[in-house]
Amino acid sequence: MHHEDEKWFYNQATGQVEQGKTSSFENRMGPYATKEEAEHALDKVKERNEAADAADEKWED
């Protein structure tokens, strides 16, 4: 099995977690080392967006 085929991805179009590059890159987030990490992909996006928003607010002050 190719190294990338062992990684996990979150499919934004379906909301499903997939192992390997089975879907189009346009819908795929990752790679993640574990299935659990991929399942929480949107949580990580939310955390990063909140941190970026806070940094923007601090910059504007």
Q: Domains of the chain: which residue ranges?
A: 3-60
pLDDT for the residue numbered 57: 87
pLDDT confidence bin for 60, thresholds 50/70/90: confident
pLDDT at 1 over 60: no
Global pTM reads 0.79
What's the rounded mean pLDDT across residues 3-14? 91
Q: Which residues contact 19 (CB under 8 A, 6 or more apart)?
A: 5, 6, 7, 8, 9, 35
What's the rounded mean pLDDT across residues 15-24? 96
What's the rounded mean pLDDT across residues 49-57? 93
